Chains A and B, each alone.
Chain A
Amino acid sequence: MNRKNPLPNSNPNSPNSSMQALHFLQALARIARAAPKPAHSARTRQIRHAAYASMAHSSRSSRRTWSRALLHRLRQWQQQRPGRLLTVRRRVRIVTPITSRPEEPARAETLRQLVPGGRGMEYCNLLEETADYVQCLRAQVQLMQTLLDAFSS
C-alpha cells in the first residue's frame, strides 16, 4: 500500500539522476543550437522549461501525477509565449472546491498551488506527491549547480 520511495535518493550517480541529467543536457544543447540568439529573458525561460521537462521525464517520476501535470503546464507555457497576443487567453481551471477539506491544515492550499497537479489530489496523496517532487527538484538543482560550477571554474 505504501508506494513511497524507500529513501530519498540524492545520489547523482544513480540511473534516475543520470537520465534526468541527460535529458537536461540534451535540452540545453537544443537551446544553444537555436539559430536566432534569443534574448536573455527568453533564454532564461527556455532553460527553466528544460529543467522542468527533464525533471518530468526522469524515470522515477514518469509515473507520478505531478510529472504529468508539470508537462501539461509546460506545454501551456510554451504555447502562450510565442505570441504575445495569446497571453490574454487565461487558463480556465475548472476546479471544484473539493480540494479544501475541513481536516486539512490551512496551508494545504498553498502546497497545492506549488506542487503541479496538486489541485485535484487528496491531502494524503498530496503529501506523497510532494515528497517525490521535492526529490526531483533537489536532484535538478544539484545538477544545475554542478554544471554551473563546472563551467565557471
Chain B
Amino acid sequence: MERTRLRRQVALTRQSLFDQGFLDEQFIQLEDLQDDANPNFVEEVVTLYYRDSARLITNIEKALEKNSLDFNKLDGFMHQFKGSSSSIGAKKVKAECTLFREYCRAGNGEGCTRTFQQIKKEYATLKRKLEAYFQVVRQAGPAETACWPK
C-alpha cells in the first residue's frame, strides 16, 4: 500500500538524519512534545528556528566584515545562535558553533571566518534535509506525526 511505503520512507529518512549526525537527542525531545493537540509542533519549531536565526546569521556576517573584529559581540551573537541550534537538536551546526566560540575567545578572526562558512553550509544542508523530511511526513498522511512508538 502506498501509505505503508510512505510511512517506511518517513522512518528511513528520519533515521538517516540521526545516523549521519545531523540531528541529536534533542530533536527526539521535540518529537516527544508533539501530540494530537499539537501535531505539527516539531515542524513549527524548526520553521521558527530558521526564521529567527536568519537575522543572527546576518548580524554575524556584518560583524565579521569589520576591519577590527569585536569578539565579545561575535561571541554574544553566537551564544544565541548556538542556543537555538541546540534546542532543535541541530548536531553539526551546534558543533561548529562551539568551535566558533573557541576562536572568538582566542581572538582568532581567521578561525572565526572559516568556521562561519562551515556553519552556514551545515545550516543550509540541514534546512534542505528537514524540509524534505517534513514533506514526506506530510505526504504520509495528516494522521502521521514524527513520533514513533518508543
Do they bind each other?
A: no
